[in-house]
Structure 1
Amino acid sequence: MGAKDWFICYADGDVSKLLARQPEIDRAATEELVRRLFPNHSVVPEEDGTLAEDANPQDDMVYAAVWPGVTIVCTAAVALDRPSQLDTRFLAEARGRTLYLHAMHSVVDWFALGVWSPDGQLRRALSISGGDEEIIENAGEPLPFEQPFWAGEFPAVEDEDEDEDYPFPFHPLELAEAGLDNLFGFVFEGYTGMSDDDDSVDPFDVPLAGFRLAPPKPGRRLFGRR
């Protein structure tokens, strides 16, 4: 697997259903959002991107979109080893909506997930790295799509390779793709088959507005894990 991403999503309902409608971006609201989230930067509009190609922007770029009922912001600022430590400015923006954080990086077999309920309470925080053989964070009850993985139904190593060793009963990136499928209705690589919803979304069909950020002020760090 070669996929990597770092994004947050604010949602008023089922994300896959909302995205499947292919709504138009509210460009004014999107730019205002990015300026609110990065008040210490100069924000310069750039060319549009897509969710498939720009879910893992460089430190000085943000790709985002505000639609009716759902908002996505792709930024390295949320590529955190510990999702529970998401900056308060991102939490405050939820404003009564469900907040999701999803990040993964194939080089280190790393996956991180955060879910906050509309009342602002952290519901789930998971960060797991196969490369480091470490569960970095594991707070809250596993979400329904996670449970078969923890139960060993999707082993990282097939039976015929049982002499090979892997630190977890599943591959973190496969769990990451299952999370995309179940929470948002799209995947970047392959098909997990975990979702029963027909509202699948092609991330190439999801446009995002691009923005360039001026360098942060001295002492401020824009990103987490890269």
Structure 2
Amino acid sequence: MVRDVGERTGILAFGDDIPARLRSRPVADIDRTKEFVEMIHPGYLVEPIGGTALRYATYPPDDVVFASSSADLDIICDRRLTFDNPATLPEHLQRIGSGRRIATLGTHSVVDWLSCAAWSDGVLVRSLTVSPDGGIIENIGEPLPFETPYWAGEHPVVSTGEDPYPLPFHPLDLGQAAQRHLFGFVTEGPSHPDDVPTGEVHLLGFRVTDPTGEEKEKREFMAQMLREILGQPPV
């Protein structure tokens, strides 16, 4: 059951109370935010471009990131920052979040994939990656309270084929619940009165590129392989 292709996210944030910080509509410091992005991607070229509201920032195009760094919160939206095994978050990212809460979320509707994790003061609290084809890829720590009804089968997927959906819930539905818990807002479905006003939270934009060109070459190679698998002509 593939969902709307628009349901994709890649978010990483550092802060003591991330939803509360976002609700306060933080104002990004330009120099601090650029330095933050450079710390996330050491050795990459970082060039400022136009920013956008958080509502539209959660899954930027290739080589583009949206970020905000202020006194109490660092947040970045970047499709690179999605992990099958988020428990093994790169060490330099863990150092950036030292002493604070870290939260990461990735979703991709083409394969009904969800990955989310949270750390508190350097300690992994919860990590989960799941998809219908891959099953439960990573499941570390006790499920958080918002997960309980999903694992209990209270949000089943209505199958349109002969075979039942292989999970007791749709990963993207759980992903929206995780997004609200970790970041205070959703990108699909009804909003709550206390959700972050994502249209009023502005993120700065940056073009972030690998100066060696290796990342782009790898991305193009993988795209060509996918086209061949799907029987599509080369570009």
**What is the rounded CA distance, in whole Å, between the counterparts of 1:33 and 1:209 in structure 2?**
11
Kept in 2: contact 1:60–1:212 (CA 8 A): yes
Contact 2:26 2:201 (8 Å CA) reproduced: no
Give matches, 1:56-135, under 5 Å.
56-118=59-121, 120-130=122-132, 132-135=133-136
CA deviations on 1:189-222 (whole Å, 9 max, x unpaired) are: 10377xxxx5312323221111112324366699
Uncovered stretches (5+) of structure 2, i.e. residues with no partner: 224-235
Q: 1:68 to 1:52 in 2, by over 3 A?
A: same
Match of 1:51 in 2: 54
TM-score, normalised to structure 2's length?
A: 0.83
**What is the rounded CA distance, in whole Å, between the counterparts of 1:168 and 1:133 in structure 2?**
11
Q: CA deviation at 1:96?
A: 0.4
Q: Equivalent residue of 1:145, what SS?
A: helix
| Partner Cα separation in structure 2 for residue 7 and residue 66 of structure 1 | 14
Distance 2:135 2:113 in 1: 10
CA displacement, residues 54-102 of structure 1 (integer Å, 9 cap, x when unaligned): 2112331121101332221112221111111221111110020000010
Count residues in correspondence: 216
Q: Tell whether the 8 Å contact from 1:157 to 1:164 is kept in structure 2 after alignment.
A: no
Residue pair 2:27, 2:68 contacting (<8 A) in 1 also: no
Q: CA deviation at 1:117?
A: 1.2
Q: Which amino acid aligns with 1:52?
A: R
Distance 1:81 1:64 in 2: 22
Secondary structure at the residue paired with 1:204? Answer: helix
Q: Distance in 1 between matches of 2:191 and 2:143?
A: 18
Letter paired with 2:123: Q
Q: Displacement, 1:8?
A: 0.5
Larger-gyration structure (1/2): 2
Q: Which has the higher helix share?
A: 2
CA contact (8 A) 1:65 1:72 kept: yes
Amino acid at match of 1:201: V
**Letter of the 1:129 counterpart:** S
Q: 1:165 to 1:17 in 2, by over 3 A?
A: same
2:167 paired with 1:154: no
SS for the counterpart of 2:145 is coil
Letter of the 2:148 counterpart: Q
Q: Report the counterpart of residue 32 of structure 2 in structure 1.
A: 29
Secondary structure (helix, strand or coil) at the match of 2:55 reads coil
SS at match of 1:77: coil
Instruction: Tell me whether 1:180 sits opposite 2:175 in the alignment.
Output: no
> What CA distance in whole angstroms lies between the structure 2 residues aligned with 1:112 and 1:178?
12
> What TM-score comes out, normalization by structure 1 length?
0.86
Q: Which runs of 5+ in 1 are unaligned?
A: none
Q: Which residue of 2 aligns with 1:42?
A: 45
Secondary structure in 2 matching 1:108: coil
The reply to whether residue 213 of structure 1 matches residue 208 of structure 2 is yes
Provide the rounded CA distance (Å) in 1 between the counterparts of 2:212 and 2:87: 24
- The percentage of counterpart residues that share the same residue type is 37
Give the alignment's Cα RMSD to 1 decimal.
2.5
Paired position in structure 1 for 2:199: 204
Counterpart residue identity of residue 81, structure 2? V
